């Protein structure tokens, strides 16, 4: 499996993310040892001494596999994304942030000024001079710098070319283990890589297809909030109980963990295979369970969804056709 006696090189990197992807990889437990046995881990800040300068010194394409998590929140995130793209043969957008923006992508509903203003005017903020962080600050002793925030949060493939997508917030550990196995087999010549651009480490259907809850094709007269019916019937479809569950539009791969725990799917595995617009698919799924043909009543039932924008684009706003609100997009044209 080695090439010229050398093991293939592995890297994992985090941009604007929460660290949960790293924890999910560590939670594969013994698989980490497989990675160690089959790869030379050259760059992985959470697990080993980071050697950023070594990466810069590498030949282009020298890293065989790079798992990249996190979104593009500032100019530094983009810089390292470009660097790792250049140095990596296979670049995987790893986890929801890199694939589709994830929760931090909800920032794209607001302008960047609004986001910074909010943070620096909260109830506990003592800011009489109305200070905002400055990218370049002339301290009495000299000038110091912090990165520039992007007007909108971008996904990895909005900045660099991506070979594969691995969804999930975070990707489930058994799925990660399976992908590691696959790549090792490919390196041994025992398997082939899927076509470029494929989604890996996930299913090809929806969360509903994996969900053990029973569906009776029952229609609903109202959307309900989880706290109003909890604990939900443990055996029945949550959507049929009126809970706005994102299962019908969301890609399978998680074994319906949240619905199994009595909580609705919130869509962290992103759009199901073939779904171009996640929100549109979910709207049609919700519409199909509404028990009414009277427009007024339908409107009233839909009013039960208290946050349609968040409901339909919770994890995938940055990667969706919308990408961002007009206010957010305009904030780049200061």
Partner 1 sequence: MQHISIDPITRLEGHGKIEIFLDSKGNVANSYFQIPELRGFERFCVGRPVEEMPLLTNRICGVCPEAHHMAAAKAADAVYHVDPPRTAKLLRELLYSAFYCTDHTTHFYALGGPDFVMGPTAPVAERNILGVIHKVGLEIGGKVIQMRKYGHTVIEMIGGRKVHPCTSIPGGITKGITEEQRKEIEEMGRWAVEFAQFSLDIFNQIVLGNKEYVDLILGDVYTHRTYYIGTVDEKDKVNFYDGKVSVVSPSGKRLGKYAAAEYTDWIAEHVEPWTYLKFPYLKKIGWKGFVDGEDSGVYMATPLSRLNAADGMATPKAQAEYEKFYSTLGGKPVHQRLATHWARLIELLYAAERWVELVTDPEVTSPNIHTKPTEKPTEGVGIVEAPRGTLTHHYWTDERGVVTRANLIVGTTNNYAPIQMSTNKAATSLIKDGNINEGLLNMVEMAFRAYDPCFGCATHSLPGQMPLEITVHNADGEVVDVLKQYVE
Site for partner 1 in 8-67 (CB under 8 A): 13-24, 26-27, 29, 45-46, 49-54
Q: Which residues lie below 8 Å from residue 100, measured CB to CB, with a gap of 6+?
A: 155, 167, 270, 271, 315, 316, 317, 318, 319, 320
Q: How far is the CB of 229 from partner 1 (least distance, A)?
A: 8
Q: How far is the CB of 322 from partner 1 (least distance, A)?
A: 15
Chain positions 253 to 272 lying near partner 1, rule: CB under 8 A, are: 257-258, 260-263, 266, 268
* Per-residue DSSP letter, 160: S
- The order of strands in the sheet holding 40-43 is 40-43, 9-14, 63-69, 88-94, 164-166
The stretch among 2-10, 165-173, 277-285, 294-302 that binds partner 1 (CB under 8 A) is 165-173
The stretch among 59-67, 203-211, 286-294, 306-314 that binds partner 1 (CB under 8 A) is 306-314
Query: By C-beta, is 137 or 205 nearer to partner 1?
Result: 137
Q: How far is the CB of 227 from partner 1 (least distance, A)?
A: 4
Q: How far is the CB of 192 from partner 1 (least distance, A)?
A: 31
Interaction between residue 109 and partner 1 (CB under 8 A): yes
* Torsion region of 324: left, alpha or beta (phi above 0 gives left; psi -120 to 50 gives alpha): beta
The whole-angstrom separation of Cα 26 and Cα 24 is 5
Chain positions 237 to 256 lying near partner 1, rule: CB under 8 A, are: none
Are 62 and 132 spatial neighbours (Cβ–Cβ below 8 Å)? no
Query: By C-beta, is 187 or 322 nearer to partner 1?
Result: 322
Token duo for residue 119: 């943070």
Report the SS3 class of residue 168.
Answer: coil
Cα 51-53-59 angle, rounded to 5 deg:
105
The stretch among 85-93, 155-163, 231-239, 279-287 that binds partner 1 (CB under 8 A) is 231-239
The stretch among 86-94, 175-183, 230-238, 272-280 that binds partner 1 (CB under 8 A) is 230-238
Interaction between residue 233 and partner 1 (CB under 8 A): no
Token duo for residue 148: 């520039």
Cα 102-317-259 angle, rounded to 5 deg:
55
Chain positions 181 to 220 lying near partner 1, rule: CB under 8 A, are: none
The stretch among 132-140, 157-165, 274-282, 284-292 that binds partner 1 (CB under 8 A) is 132-140
The stretch among 4-12, 85-93, 179-187, 226-234 that binds partner 1 (CB under 8 A) is 226-234
Q: How far is the CB of 172 from partner 1 (least distance, A)?
A: 9
- Pick from 2, 127, 204, 288: which binds partner 1 (CB under 8 A)? 127
Are 268 and 254 spatial neighbours (Cβ–Cβ below 8 Å)? yes
207: nearest Cα among 143, 145, 264, 158: 264
Number of residues that bind partner 1 (CB under 8 A): 86
Interaction between residue 332 and partner 1 (CB under 8 A): no
Whole-Å CA distances, 295 to 3, 70, 241, 242, 290: 65, 42, 22, 19, 11
- Pick from 2, 37, 60, 119: which binds partner 1 (CB under 8 A)? 119
Token duo for residue 259: 């619905």
- Pick from 3, 5, 6, 124: which binds partner 1 (CB under 8 A)? 124
Sign of CA dihedral 157, 160, 163, 169: negative
Token duo for residue 90: 């296979």
A 10 A CB-CB count for 219 gives 11
- Pick from 1, 41, 62, 74: which binds partner 1 (CB under 8 A)? 74
């Amino acid at each position: 499996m080695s090439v010229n006696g050398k093991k293939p090189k592995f890297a994992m990197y985090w941009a604007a993310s929460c660290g949960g992807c790293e924890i999910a990889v560590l939670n594969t437990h013994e698989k980490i040892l497989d990675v160690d046995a089959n790869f030379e881990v050259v760059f992985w800040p959470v697990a080993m001494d980071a050697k950023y300068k070594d990466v810069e010194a590498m030949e282009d394409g020298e890293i065989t596999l790079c798992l990249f998590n996190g979104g593009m929140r500032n100019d530094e995130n983009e810089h390292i994304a470009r660097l790792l793209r250049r140095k990596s043969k296979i670049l995987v957008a790893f986890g929801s942030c890199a694939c589709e923006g994830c929760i931090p992508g909800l920032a794209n509903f607001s302008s960047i000024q609004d986001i910074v203003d909010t943070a620096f005017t909260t109830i506990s903020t003592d800011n009489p001079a109305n200070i905002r962080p400055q990218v370049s600050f002339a301290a009495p002793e000299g000038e110091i710098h912090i990165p520039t925030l992007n007007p909108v949060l971008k996904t990895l493939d909005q900045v660099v070319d991506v070979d594969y997508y691995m969804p999930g917030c975070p990707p489930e550990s058994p799925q990660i283990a399976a992908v590691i196995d696959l790549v090792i087999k490919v390196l041994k010549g025992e398997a082939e890589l899927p076509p470029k651009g494929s989604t890996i480490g996930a299913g090809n259907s929806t969360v509903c297809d994996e969900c053990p809850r029973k569906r009776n094709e029952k229609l609903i007269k109202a959307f309900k909030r989880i706290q109003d019916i909890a604990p939900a019937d443990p055996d029945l479809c949550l959507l049929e109980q009126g809970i706005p569950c994102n299962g019908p539009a969301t890609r399978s791969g998680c074994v319906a963990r949240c619905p199994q725990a009595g909580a609705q799917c919130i869509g962290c595995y992103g759009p199901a295979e073939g779904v171009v617009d996640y929100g549109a698919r979910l709207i049609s799924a919700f519409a199909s369970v509404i028990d009414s043909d009277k427009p007024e009543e339908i409107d009233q039932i839909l009013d039960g969804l208290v946050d349609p924008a968040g409901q339909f684009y919770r994890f995938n706003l940055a990667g969706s056709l919308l990408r961002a609100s007009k206010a957010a997009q305009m904030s780049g044209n200061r």
